[in-house]
Chain A
Amino acid sequence: MKRKNLFVLTMLFAALTVVLPVQAQKTKARQQKQLVTVVYQTDIHCDGCARKIMNNVPALGRGVEDVRVDVPTKQVTVTYDAQKTGDDKIIAGLKSIAVNAVRADK
């Protein structure tokens, strides 16, 4: 009986390993998004600030697709799904990790 349980657990473990990434790829393909790319001018000054942003992308809210940080120009480029989020939420999200930001084109 114990051996049977172990076998089932091992199979479950292996199945999850394969299914999870495949399912995630399929889900991604199904989604239709309205992507917008916005550049923000920030007060970051070092690599630590860049790491802080990259470690906390979920703090910017849902719908964020891509984040790029350029320390010399202090610019953060965010690509997001306009159906799920907007400028205000991104700026508020950056504020929550102590990064002050404004749109670079304003």
Chain B
Amino acid sequence: MKRYVFLISLCVSVFATAQDADSLRLSEVRVTAHRKGNSINRLALQQTEDISRAGLVKMACCNVAESFQNSASVTVGYADAVSGARQIRLLGLTGNYTQLLDESRPLARGVGSPFMLNQIPGSWLNGISVSKGVTSVAQGHEAISGQINMDFRKPSDAERLFVNMYIDSDLRGELNLSSALKVNRSGRLQVVNMLHASTDTRITDHDMNHDHFRDTPLMRQLSIASRWNYLAANGVQIRWGLRATTEGRTGGMNDYRPTSAERTRMQRGDTAYYGSNLRNQNISLYAKVGIPLGRLLDDPDSILDPHQSSIAVVADYDRFAHESYFGRNDYDVSEHTVSMSALLNYYFTYRSSLNVGLQSYLRYSDEQLQNCPGHTTATSWLASWHAAHPQGQLVDLSRDEAEVGAFAEYNYSQSDKLTLVAGVRGDYNSYTRTFYGTPRMHVKWNPTGRIALRASAGLGYRLIRPVSDNIGILATGALIEIPSPSSRFDPMEQALNLGLSYTHTIPMGRLGAATLSLEYFRTQFFNTVIVDQEQQAERIVMYSSDRKSFTNNWQADFSWTPVERLEVLLAFRFSDSRYTIDRQDGSHVLVERPLVSRMKGLLNVQYATRFRRWVFDLTAHLNGRSRVPTTTGQLSDDHLSPVYPMFYAQVTHRIKMCELYLGCENIAGYMQSDPVISADDPMSASFNSMNVWGPLMGRKFYFGLRWSLY
């Protein structure tokens, strides 16, 4: 039996850990106090960037979407300039192509998924893992560009109470509480309860670019979560929990307040009263039962943990309700999703296993677009729909959907040097009435202990939601052509993703190793749903296309600790993302995907004094050009956004159990000057706020504290 010796020396360095290498397992090497904020995971099968809790607290990180400022892999943008909803991009594609996981459990992909990253507070998480390329077939067919796995605070965490308070120069206040408790004396039943409350309290509106529109909406959010864990003496684990969120955003013109009187004036066409109000409410329940089977398999030559076969049953229920209006466009959704999974992971030997499972979901959605009921001043796009659809000023996008699937995945590894995973799944979707086959394969080879080579290839499918996936289209005055279900529109996007990566740990300096990572990913679409605002002026057209559509993504990351407690992270990413759009004359043109930056450079420097009593973080971004689409219908009128830098800084001071932090975002105060087109005439068809390529907010200072009780 291996001895567990855990000897850590902080005498030499906070980062240099003295360990008895002969007697230490790898799981014990992961000491959170010394983990880097952002790092490439050398053990993961896929190219994975880990953001630890140390990384999450490098900046304000109010929610998950804002947690990627120290990552070149993920770019954070906005869905539109009115709602201010954050949107991520991974491998040159919007976050819609990235699957979200809650501790390896896929989160329901419904109408609510584009809002999910905005709703989960960063302080609820212990870490985030960003996996690139296609992922395991066990988690569905939807991850095309990658996965974001959120590692929530755990019932087994040591902190009995954690308090985080935050306020920024925009007078946005935030409170986060978390409490992990052992419920019974044996400690087998544990719970972690979490709460988040935030609101904008500012009296004056921020309008730094003087377009009479708020730079950011007034936001308020209340979220709670409760996660339970029961570990029986025989090894059976039962986990269950709930998460509930209510969120509101009020955007639009500076003086707009979401009262019925002002809304009525807006609906009547008063151009001084363009406003938007958005309300999301969702509740998620889940239960997981895991039963170990057979004996524990161990290999003395392996640095990995022992393995054991297991079966698991997972059940989820999600309820999502959304009510919003953008000017005179009303959008309401009510959705219920139930999903079930049964999984068997069977180990033939320590290095050979088969993972099989059955999965299904059932989803009922009531989804409606409406244009100011009771008023005759319908905007042009709904007037057009009204002419073609006699049911009135209502576009009913409701649908019921069911999917049943099965998968099998074989995992083989050879002496920790070579790992091969090959999987296939088949799914039948009742909405498209089509069967989809999804083969995927991953290889990881460690020719030496310092080098890891990875390759992945596989198909991915994603069923689009025309409006919620592109919520920014409602913040325009354009005529929107939503294809009807009976048209030749294929709502299931299909793509092949190929990826190669090379990670090298290089001995450098007296403090240990630097890590260099090089990667390339290509996503080749076979069917793309295109939201085209360039075909005609003042019109947004949606269609599916099997013409050329791809992204190429190159990235290099280098991290190093040159001096005691000084971390340097340098990263560059280049993207070439293109698709073919249809022109009004029947021709087709291959163009750059709009608003995808061609390049991003990142430098993060962190210096900590001994025991991290003081931590200084400095981050610089250089954001490359992106194509800003034309709104005139003439492709020659498109243009490139400028290259712009962003700077961030934060100082953290630890006093006993209390941590105080003071920081500044966007130090240079760089802002996109024209995020809202035709801001002076928001009821016109030329009004457009969905082409956001840069920051909407200027310089922002913030201050906060974290306090823990054990």
Measuring CB to CB, which residues of chain A are less than 8 angstroms from any residue of chain B?
A: 5-6, 9-10, 13, 16-17, 20-21, 24-25, 47-52, 54-59, 61, 64-72, 79, 93, 96-98
B647 / chain A contacts, CB cutoff of 8 Å: 9, 13
Q: Bound state CA distance, A48 and B158, in angstroms?
A: 8
Interface residues as binary, B589-617 with A (CB distance below 8 Å gives 1, 0 otherwise)? 00000000000000001010111110010
B241 at the interface (CB under 8 A from A): no
Cross-chain pair count, CB within 8 angstroms:
101
Give, as a whole number of angstroms, the nearest-CB distance from B176 to chain A.
Answer: 18
Top 4 closest pairs, chain A to chain B, by CB: A66-B11, A57-B611, A98-B710, A71-B6
In angstroms, Cα B566 to Cα A18, docked, is 10
B7 touches A68 (CB 8 A): yes
A24 touches B609 (CB 8 A): yes
CB distance from B510 to the nearest CB of A (A): 14
Cβ contact within 8 Å between B667 and A58:
no
Residues of B within 8 A of A98 (CB): 158, 160, 710
Other A-B pairs beyond A9-B647, A56-B708, A97-B657, 13, CB < 8 Å: A10-B645, A16-B616, A16-B618, A21-B563, A21-B564, A48-B156, A50-B8, A50-B31, A54-B33, A58-B611, A58-B654, A58-B655, A64-B611
Write out, one digit per residue, whether chain B residues 604-639 have a CB within 8 A of any chain A CB (1) or not (0): 010101111100101010000000000000000000
Residues of B within 8 A of A64 (CB): 611
Among candidates B156, B158, B616, B620, residue contacting A10 with C-beta atoms closer than 8 Å = B620
Q: Let me know if B668 and A66 touch, CB within 8 A.
A: no
Q: Is the CB of B33 within 8 A of A71?
A: no
Across-interface contacts of B8 in A (CB, < 8 A) = 50, 54, 67-69
With known contacts A9-B667, A24-B607, A55–B3 Cβ distance under 8 A: no
B657: chain A residues within 8 A (beta carbon): 56, 59, 96-97
Complex interface: chain B residues within 8 A of A71 (CB):
4-6
Which of the listed residues A6, A57, A58 has the most CB atoms from chain B within 10 Å of its own CB? A58
Establish whether residues A72 and B612, one from each chain, have CB atoms under 8 Å apart when the complex forms. no
| Cα A38 to Cα B645 with chains together (Å) | 50
A-B contact pairs, 29 of them (CB 8 A): A5-B668, A6-B645, A6-B668, A9-B667, A17-B605, A17-B618, A21-B607, A25-B563, A51-B31, A51-B32, A54-B10, A54-B31, A54-B34, A58-B611, A58-B654, A64-B611, A66-B9, A66-B10, A67-B10, A68-B9, A68-B10, A68-B11, A70-B6, A71-B4, A72-B3, A72-B4, A79-B11, A96-B657, A97-B710
How close is B21's CB to chain A, nearest CB, in angstroms?
A: 16
- Complexed CA–CA distance, A64 and B611 (Å): 9
Q: Which residue of B lies closest to A66 (CB)?
A: B11
Residues of chain B contacted by A65 (CB below 8 angstroms): 11, 610
Rounded to whole Å, the gap between the CB of A61 and the closest CB of chain B is: 7
Contact present for A59 and B656 (CB under 8 Å) = yes
B28 at the interface (CB under 8 A from A): yes
Contacts A20-B607, A52-B158 known; A13 to B612 CB distance under 8 Å?
no
For the complex formed, measure the closest distance between the CB of A4 and the CB atoms of chain B, giving whole angstroms.
11
Which chain A residues lie closer than 8 Å to B645 at the CB level?
6, 10
Q: Name the interface residues of B549-580: CB closer than 8 Å to any CB of A.
A: 563-566
Chain B residues within 8 Å of A67, by CB: 8, 10
The one of B6, B607, B612 in contact with A50, judged by C-beta atoms closer than 8 angstroms, is: B6
Q: Find out whether the CB atom of B710 lies under 8 angstroms from the CB atom of A52.
A: yes
Chain A residue at smallest Cβ distance from B27? A47
Which residues from chain B contact A79 at a C-beta distance below 8 Å?
Answer: 11
Instruction: Let me know if A70 and B5 touch, CB within 8 A.
Output: yes
Of B5, B10, B28, which one neighbours A72 at CB under 8 angstroms?
B5
Q: Which residues of A contact B654 (CB under 8 A)?
A: 58
Distance in angstroms between the alpha carbons of A87 and B156 in the assembled complex:
30
- Provide the bound-state CA to CA distance between A65 and B610, in Å: 8
What bracket does the count of chain B residues touching chain A fall in? Answer: 35 or more
Within 8 A of A (CB), among B24-54: 28, 31-34
CA distance A16 to B565 in the complex (A): 15
Q: In the assembled complex, how far is the CB of residue B303 from the closest CB belonging to chain A, in whole angstroms? A: 16
Closest to B656 in A: A59
Min CB gap B305→A, angstroms: 13
- Are B616 and A20 closer than 8 Å at their CB atoms? yes
Query: Which residue of B is nearest A19, CB measured?
Result: B607
**Given known A9-B668, A20-B616, A24-B607, contact A55–B33 (CB-CB < 8 A):** yes
B28: chain A residues within 8 A (beta carbon): 47
- The CA of A34 and the CA of B710, in the complex, are separated in Å by 31
In the bound complex, how far is the Cα of B654 from the Cα of A72, in angstroms? 29
Q: What is the distance, in angstroms, from B422's C-beta to the closest C-beta of chain A?
A: 34
Closest A residue to B7 by beta carbon equals A70
Residue of A nearest to B659 (CB): A58
In the bound complex, CA of A15 to CA of B563 (Å): 15
Contact check, B7 vs A69: say whether CB atoms are below 8 A apart.
yes
Contacts of A17 in B (CB 8 A): 605, 607, 618
Complex: A48 Cα to B610 Cα, angstroms: 21
Of A20, A58, A66, which one neighbours B613 at CB under 8 angstroms? A58
A61 to B607, CA, bound (A): 21
A68: chain B residues within 8 A (beta carbon) = 7-11
With a cutoff of 8 Å between Cβ atoms, the chain B residues found around residue A6 in the complex are: 645, 668
Chain B nearest CB, measured from A40 CB (Å): 15
Residues on B with beta carbons closer than 8 Å to the beta carbon of A58: 611-613, 654-656
Known: A13-B620, A16-B616, A17-B618. A57 touches B668 (CB 8 A): no
A57 to B645, CA, bound (A): 37
Return the chain B residue nearest A99 by Cβ.
B710
By a CB distance below 8 angstroms, the chain B residues around A16 are: 616, 618
Distance from B201 Cβ to chain A, minimum over Cβ atoms (Å): 30
Task: Please name all residues of chain B whose beta carbon is closer than 8 Å to the beta carbon of A20 when the two chains form the complex.
Answer: 566, 607, 616
In the assembly, what is the distance between CA of A51 and CA of B156, in Å?
13
Chain A nearest CB from B126 CB (Å) reads 12
Q: Which of A9, A55, A98 has the most C-beta atoms of chain B within 10 angstroms of its own C-beta?
A: A55
B residues 510-532 in Cβ contact with A at 8 Å = none
Q: Which residues of chain A have C-beta atoms less than 8 A from B5's C-beta?
A: 70-72
How near does chain B come to A80, taking the closest CB pair, in angstroms? 12
In the assembled complex, the Cα of A24 lies from the Cα of B14 at a distance in Å of: 14
A58 to B605, CA, bound (A): 22
Q: Which residues of A contact B563 (CB under 8 A)?
A: 21, 25
How far is A91 from B612 in the complex, measured between Cα atoms in Å?
20
Closest approach, in angstroms, between the C-beta of A54 and any C-beta of chain B? 4
Neighbouring B residues of A47 by C-beta, 8 Å: 4, 6, 28
Contact B710 A96 (CB under 8 A): yes
Interface residues of B in 113-158 (CB under 8 A from A): 156, 158
- When distances are taken between beta carbons in the complex, the residues of chain A under 8 Å from B612 are 57-58
A92 to chain B, nearest CB (A): 10
Instruction: List B residues 681-710 near A (Cβ within 8 Å).
Output: 708, 710
Are B33 and A51 in contact (CB-based, < 8 A)? yes
**A41 to nearest B CB, angstroms?**
16
Complex contacts, B655 vs chain A, CB 8 Å = 58
| Distance to closest chain B CB from A36 (angstroms) | 14
* Residues in chain B near residue A55, CB distance under 8 A: 32-33
- Chain A: which residue is nearest B54 at the CB level? A55
- Please, how many angstroms separate the alpha-carbon atoms of A49 and B28 in the complex? 12
Contact A21 B10 (CB under 8 A): no
